[in-house]
Amino acid sequence: MFGLNRLRSRKEQQPSEETCRSRVLGASRTDVGRVRSVNEDSVYFQNATDNGSGRSSSALALVADGLGGAQGGSVASTMVTQIVSQDFHGGTASPPKVLRKALESANREIFRKAQREKDLAGMASTCVALALAPPFAWAAWVGDSRLYLIRDRQIFQMTEDHSVVQEMVRRGLLSSEQAADHEERNLVTRSLGSQRKVEVAVWDQPFPIRSEDRFLLSTDGLHDSLTSPELLEIASCVRLDTACEHLIEAANSRGGHDNISAVLLEVSDSRRVAAAEPPPTREFRITREVNS
């Protein structure tokens, strides 16, 4: 069901010189949907920047889906994007260690705030985060927000939901097809802020990436509404921002029963990107010779 081990086992996944010259492009969209009045989702994308240490940081993308009521859910997901991004970009350890600590930090802060403020009691959030530093990627997640990889016209689910129905699938009580339509598919078994401590799922080993790989991060309002072949078709649109818009529109066309969020990233060969960019506008003066 999940593509991580399958892809890692292929010999051709060794990073190439071309991949090392790649850069990351990204687009993100979040929408309240057609039923809810408040958007409890949050999205984040920041490309690699110089963090002042003389080296470039990794690009970071994440989506978070708030739980615990309109006000609490919105607060929790916003806290996730703020805390995880700040801690990640300020971290100096390896990407998987920084990701794990950042999500654990978000868990502690959300839990403390929910304990202090009665109107936020019970708030929590899911999260999936992806760090990209070509030629490698690392992911961390809690809950049922997902990460997909689009490669060679195929789509691979790279994370495993922390949910009731996924646990039933693991135990052989449900098939994957039955889980997709199960009435309890939105019940998560882990979230950030619901308990004092949380177990964060992390890729401890770097995942080799290639030029033209695309990564989709989504909340359940998107991937519960569309099938994997539909996600593949729409997310493969040439322009990332157009693809994100069409993903939101497609989920809304199915009823928009939940908030909908997507972050779409592409690993692009920097030489091809540079060649495709138009030259800057310049002023040019034309003088004419007038015959007397």
Q: What is the pLDDT of residues 78-92, one digit of tens each?
A: 999 999 999 999 999
Q: Which two tokens stand for residue 222?
A: 């998107």
| For helices 228-235 and 240-253, angle between their N-to-C axes, nearest 10 degrees | 140
**Per-residue pLDDT for 181 more than 90?**
no
Average pLDDT over residues 224-228: 95
User: What type of residue is 136?
Assistant: F
> What's residue 54's pLDDT?
40
Please name every residue paired with 67 in a beta bridge, in sequence order, or none if there are none. Answer: 124
Location of structure tokens 């593509």: 3
Average pLDDT over residues 14-38: 82
> What's residue 257's pLDDT?
95
Across the chain, what does the average pLDDT equal?
A: 86
Pick from 57-61, 125-129, 146-150: least confident = 57-61
Location of structure tokens 């997909």: 148
Please name every residue paired with 154 in a beta bridge, in sequence order, or none if there are none. Answer: 151
What lies within 8 Å, CB to CB, of 87 at 6+ separation is: 98, 101, 102, 105, 106
The helix/strand/coil state of 205 is coil
Share of the chain above pLDDT 70, in %: 78
> What's residue 159's pLDDT?
97
Residues shown for the chain:
292
> What's residue 11's pLDDT?
42
Residue 174 banded pLDDT, cuts 50, 70, 90: confident
**SS3 helix, strand, coil % of the chain, rounded to 5?**
35, 25, 40
Given a contact cutoff of 8 angstroms between Cβ atoms, the answer to whether 229 and 162 are in contact is: no
Given a contact cutoff of 8 angstroms between Cβ atoms, the answer to whether 192 and 102 are in contact is: no
> What's residue 269's pLDDT?
80
Q: Which two tokens stand for residue 20?
A: 């090392």
**Per-residue pLDDT for 13 more than 60?**
no
> What's residue 56's pLDDT?
52
Structural domains of the chain ordered from first start: 4-276 (3.60.40.10)
> What's residue 2's pLDDT?
59
Q: Which two tokens stand for residue 78?
A: 């916003």
Find the farthest-apart pair of alpha carbons in the chain and give their distance in angstroms, rounded.
95
**Per-residue pLDDT for 20 more than 60?**
no
User: What type of residue is 245?
Assistant: E
Q: How many CA atoms lie within 13 A of 174 on its CB side?
A: 18
Q: What is the pLDDT of residues 150-164, one digit of tens each?
A: 999 999 999 999 988
Residue 231 banded pLDDT, cuts 50, 70, 90: very high
Residue 46 banded pLDDT, cuts 50, 70, 90: very high
Please name every residue paired with 25 in a beta bridge, in sequence order, or none if there are none. Answer: 266
> What's residue 79's pLDDT?
98
Residue 274 banded pLDDT, cuts 50, 70, 90: very low
> What's residue 4's pLDDT?
67
At 274, give phi and psi (nearest 5°): -60, -40
Q: Which two tokens stand for residue 100?
A: 């794990």
The helix/strand/coil state of 35 is coil
d(CA 31, CA 221): 9
d(CA 66, CA 45): 18
Share of the chain above pLDDT 90, in %: 70
Q: What is the pLDDT of residues 139-149, one digit of tens each?
A: 999 999 999 99
User: What type of residue is 244?
Assistant: C
> What's residue 3's pLDDT?
66
Please name every residue paired with 46 in a beta bridge, in sequence order, or none if there are none. Answer: 60
Cis geometry, peptide bond prior to residue 134 (ω within 30 degrees of 0):
no
> What's residue 239's pLDDT?
96
Q: Which helix (H) or strand (E) holds 24?
A: strand 22-31
